[in-house]
Amino acid sequence: MSAQPFVTVFAIYPNLTHLDFTGPHQVLCRLPNSQTIIASRDGGDIVAEGGLVIGQTVRLADIPRCDLICVPGGMTTTEVALDEAFVGEIRRLASGAKYITSVCTGSLILGAAGLLQGKRAACHWAWRGMLTEFGAIPDEARVVRDGNIFTGGGVTAGIDFAFTMFAEIAGEGYAKALTLGLEYAPAPPYACGRPELADHETLSRVAANMDKAMAQRLAEAREAGARLTAQTGTA
């Protein structure tokens, strides 16, 4: 690690899925000689999914640079992908970052910023196909690396993603020690956390619930993809 602090920026927005952010934050804020900044488009308090208030965020435009930028996911990501001010700040910070990262549907925002064209990327299983709207290559792995881009799958995959990043930045020894320190030893009471593991009834129930938002989210993703094509000529 260099003498200069390693700067991590979490770029968040209203109604994000807070575990997409808080899981990786709990890990990455432990990086040696580092500074972790929580930022949003306008700064101030952000109300996440379920009413959790994340207070005193920094305005994205006020951050000159970072070493790692992470965009968490949420049910509003395709809406946020149409927010040109937010997406523009992600693109600006990513241009100078050593690592460009996301968790869950945050990869759709990276896509809208033009950062995933021709790149493999992870996303929550229900929305993974939308990555193609941005010229990305959907990958079903829990953590995906393509060059300096690291993307985590749905929600809890953000913790696996964060330990992967920790090892990349600080070394495997530090990552192993933190894994023990945080007692990260997943043993879910129900082994149905991925579509291929779930029984038919459970998968059908969850898919039906996701379908309620599918049309709107797909329309928003397509609009964001069309904007990207107009700007860059590729998607």
Q: Which residues of 28-67 are buried (b: 16+ CB within 10 A; e: fewer)?
A: bebbeebebbbbbbeeeebebeeeeebeebeebeebeebb
104 is an active site residue: yes
Residues in the chain: 235
> Out of 66, 70, 104, 123, which one is annotated catalytic?
104
Rounded Cα–Cα distance for residues 167 and 174 (Å) = 7
Q: Would you state the structure tokens that stand for residue 88, as one six-digit string?
A: 């523009």
Cα gap 154→52, rounded to integer Å: 19
Residue 25 to residues 69, 98, 117, 163, Cα–Cα distance (Å): 12, 18, 27, 11
Residues carrying an active site annotation: 104
